[in-house]
Amino acid sequence: MRAYADSDYAANHKPNWKVIAGLWPYLAEFRGRVIFSVAFLILAKLATVATPIALKYIVDYLDQGRESGELLLWIPVALVVAYGVLRFGSTLFSELRDAVFARVAERAMRRVSLRVFRHLHDRELAFHLDRKTGGLARDIERGTTGISFLLRFTLFNIVPTLLEIVMVAGILLVAFSVSYVLAILIAVVVYIAFSIVVTEWRTRFVREANARDNQSNSRAIDSLLNYETVKYFNNETFEAKLYDQDLAGWEQARLKNRLSLAALNSGQALIIGAAMITIMVMAVREVASGAITLGDFTMVNAYLLQLFIPLNALGFVYREIRQSLVNVERLFGLLGEKPAIEDVDTAPALAVDKAEVGFHNVHFAYRADRQILQDVDFSIPAGHTIAIVGASGAGKSTLARLLFRFFDVDKGRITIDGQDIREVDQNSLRAAIGVVPQDTVLFNDTLYRNLAYGRPEATEAEVHHAARQARLDNFIRSLPEGYDTKVGERGLKLSGGEKQRVAIARVLLKNPPLLILDEATSSLDSISEQAILGALNEVSSHRTTLVIAHRLSTVRDADSILVMDHGQIVESGGHSELLAKNGYYARLWLQQHSDDVSLSD
């Protein structure tokens, strides 16, 4: 449903023109380059505006010389040379302007891309659980490109075109009658007004096309990421049908976009054509009456061509700026959303001494109508292993998420060595905790880089040592490419047990004082489980460890076992003690034991 919410936003939300003001910091970083760029821009426009004047004098001299019979060849040659120099100067200064400004635009794209990347990593887990990755990637891509477009074209197209209109109007006012200036200004005003009105009307089609593009892209990425699931259920045709439905919506939105663009272009061409006819008829009449020369006529024609070509481009630029505003606003909207989990001001780093963990009367709900934890209270002494068991949905994994501060508690508090984790720096908190998750997702990179991810600055010897401790060395030696083996998208080329060993090696490399084992063997067979358990026992020794487990056989040796049901701790004690109570834990044990016996039979 989130995709449709995003679509509604894209179709109905009006972008804010103040977005352009938000680009100033990216210009301010290179003030010198911006000043030089503007100087080259002015020089280019001066050369452009002076070119028709040189052309006028060339035509007038040749015309008058032909009539009088007196023609000095060097004068028109000199004027032609001046004309060529002015044309070259216009192009040269424009290219110098772009070359000087290139660093500003590219650095802006780099800065904002990095800022968005960091911001997305700062967002809470709930944000990423709700987001469509494909749509988010498109928003970032279009937004960063839009920033570059706004910086370049606002400064180097709209401003120069308006400057040129003012210059040409001034020259025509001095050289000719005010009627030419009025005709051009009326044409410009009508053109701009028409472009704005029609562009505002068709912007909804642009937004709709973007929203549909996000939706179809999200569908494609989601389906490809779940390639195996699609194959398991023979749902290739079903997925293609859903994707085609999204593409059909995108096709219709694009078609509306194209047709409305055709209407805009036709209207703009009509206004320009009518203006040129009107002004040229005025000039022809004055040439015929002798009020102006043939060179004046040529100059007027050159100015019209010179003016209306960039004005036509101005229509395109306005359309693109309007679309870029939509894209950049989406990007700035992402940056404007504050993370739900934030550090308090001047939060100190977590000081870990004994690594004692305490959950004090903790209450938590993902939503107001779905209470998960109720008055959970327990502690993990330093160096001890506490196991949390219970049925699915009891709230076991939620405890691990709260300790890692993916979410904040609603009531109560969680402490490490007496420090409330909400009052310490998040980075220092997470640096002190190692996690071996239920489902280890690897990067599409080499085995070595995935192992070293636990501590990227670790030496090669340290990475190899961690692999040996996690009992991965025999497996790695059996691979033709060894540590340079590519593990594939999300590590799909490795088995579940191999991925779990990589996760253990990462934690060993990180070497944290606190450890969370979140159902780390639940997806493994019995033989793989026993091998992994041995490695896990080594990892957890001398560390304060919270074990989230579904299989009770994996936590028999824990220092204490807490039994959860419906978000509450209903029993606690050692394995034998809990069996002797003949309560909820004993019933779970008997059920799992009978299931294991049935499977072995």
What pLDDT is stored for residue 8 in this prediction?
40
Q: Which CATH code for domain 350-432+512-601?
A: 3.40.50.300
What pLDDT is stored for residue 571 in this prediction?
92
Q: What is the pLDDT of residues 108-127, one digit of tens each?
A: 777 777 787 787 777 777 67
**Average pLDDT over the chain, rounded to whole?**
81
Q: Say if residue 578's pLDDT is above 60.
A: yes
Tokens read off for 283 = 């000039």
Q: Say if residue 131's pLDDT is above 50.
A: yes
Q: Which long-range contacts (CB under 8 A, 24 or more apart) does 36-39 make?
A: 36/100, 37/97, 37/100, 37/101, 37/104, 37/155, 37/156, 38/155
Residues 364 and 409 sit within 8 Å (Cβ to Cβ): yes
What pLDDT is stored for residue 72 in this prediction?
65
Q: What is the pLDDT of residues 358-386, one digit of tens each?
A: 999 999 998 877 889 999 999 999 989 99
Q: Could you give the 3-state DSSP secondary structure of residue 571? A: strand
Q: Say if residue 599's pLDDT is above 50.
A: no
Torsions phi, psi of 519, nearest 5?
A: 50, 50
What pLDDT is stored for residue 265 in this prediction?
83
- Tell me what the mean pLDDT of segment 259-277 comes to: 86
CA 326/CA 200 separation, integer angstroms = 12
- At residue 570 the predicted structure's pLDDT band, cuts being 50, 70 and 90, is very high
Q: Say if residue 75's pLDDT is above 50.
A: yes
Q: Say if residue 402's pLDDT is above 80.
A: yes
Match 């994707």 to its residue by tokens: 243
Q: What is the DSSP letter of 555?
A: G
CA 536/CA 528 separation, integer angstroms = 12
Torsions phi, psi of 565, nearest 5?
A: -150, 120
Stretch (H or E) spanning 117: helix 74-122
- Where is pLDDT greater, at 247 or 111? 247
- Tell me what the mean pLDDT of segment 30-52 comes to: 85
Tokens read off for 562 = 């807490």
List the beta bridge partners of residue 367.
370
Tokens read off for 312 = 């036509």
Buried/exposed 279-310: b ≥16 CB within 10 Å, e otherwise: beebbeebbeeeebbebbbbbbbbbbebbbeb
Measure Cα distances from 238 to 231, 242, 455 in Å. Answer: 11, 6, 42
Residues 171 and 321 sit within 8 Å (Cβ to Cβ): no
CA 283/CA 58 separation, integer angstroms = 18
CA 575/CA 340 separation, integer angstroms = 39
Domains 9-336 and 440-511 in one fold: no
Nearest residue to 500 via CA among 431, 437, 547, 430: 437
First to last CA, the chain: 45
CA 226/CA 222 separation, integer angstroms = 6
CA 160/CA 182 separation, integer angstroms = 20
Buried/exposed 539-559: b ≥16 CB within 10 Å, e otherwise: bbeebbbbbbbbebbbbeebe
Q: What is the pLDDT of residues 461-492, one digit of tens each?
A: 999 988 888 888 888 888 888 888 888 765 66
pTM (global) more than 0.85: no
- Tell me what the mean pLDDT of segment 299-328 comes to: 75
Residues 486 and 446 sit within 8 Å (Cβ to Cβ): yes
Query: Within a 13 Å sphere around the CA of 424, how many CA atoms are in the beta-carbon half?
Result: 22
Looking at CATH, the fold of the domain delimited by 9-336 is given as ABC transporter transmembrane region fold (1.20.1560)
What pLDDT is stored for residue 399 in this prediction?
93
Residues 477 and 465 sit within 8 Å (Cβ to Cβ): no
- At residue 314 the predicted structure's pLDDT band, cuts being 50, 70 and 90, is low
Q: What is the largest CA-CA distance in the chain?
A: 126
Q: Say if residue 6's pLDDT is above 50.
A: no
What share of the chain in percent tops pLDDT 90?
A: 14
What pLDDT is stored for residue 523 in this prediction?
57
Measure Cα distances from 110 to 120, 273, 511 in Å. Answer: 15, 42, 34
Stretch (H or E) spanning 386: strand 385-390
The strand pair at 544-548 and 514-518 is best described as: parallel
- Tell me what the mean pLDDT of segment 518-542 comes to: 69
Q: Say if residue 302's pLDDT is above 90.
A: no
Q: What is the pLDDT of residues 331-365, one digit of tens each?
A: 777 777 777 788 888 889 999 988 999 999 999 99
What ranges do the domains of the chain cover?
A: 9-336, 350-432+512-601, 440-511
Looking at CATH, the fold of the domain delimited by 440-511 is given as Rossmann fold (3.40.50)
What share of the chain in percent tops pLDDT 70?
A: 87
Query: Within a 13 Å sphere around the CA of 324, how many CA atoms are in the beta-carbon half?
Result: 21
- Where is pLDDT greater, at 556 or 23? 556
Length of the chain: 601
What pLDDT is stored for residue 4 in this prediction?
35
Q: Say if residue 567's pLDDT is above 80.
A: yes
Nearest residue to 310 via CA among 160, 101, 510: 160
Nearest residue to 164 via CA among 42, 280, 82, 278: 42
What pLDDT is stored for residue 205 in this prediction?
80
Q: Say if residue 69's pLDDT is above 70.
A: no
What pLDDT is stored for residue 67 in this prediction?
57
Q: What is the pLDDT of residues 141-167, one digit of tens each?
A: 777 777 777 777 766 767 777 787 888
What pLDDT is stored for residue 422 in this prediction?
92
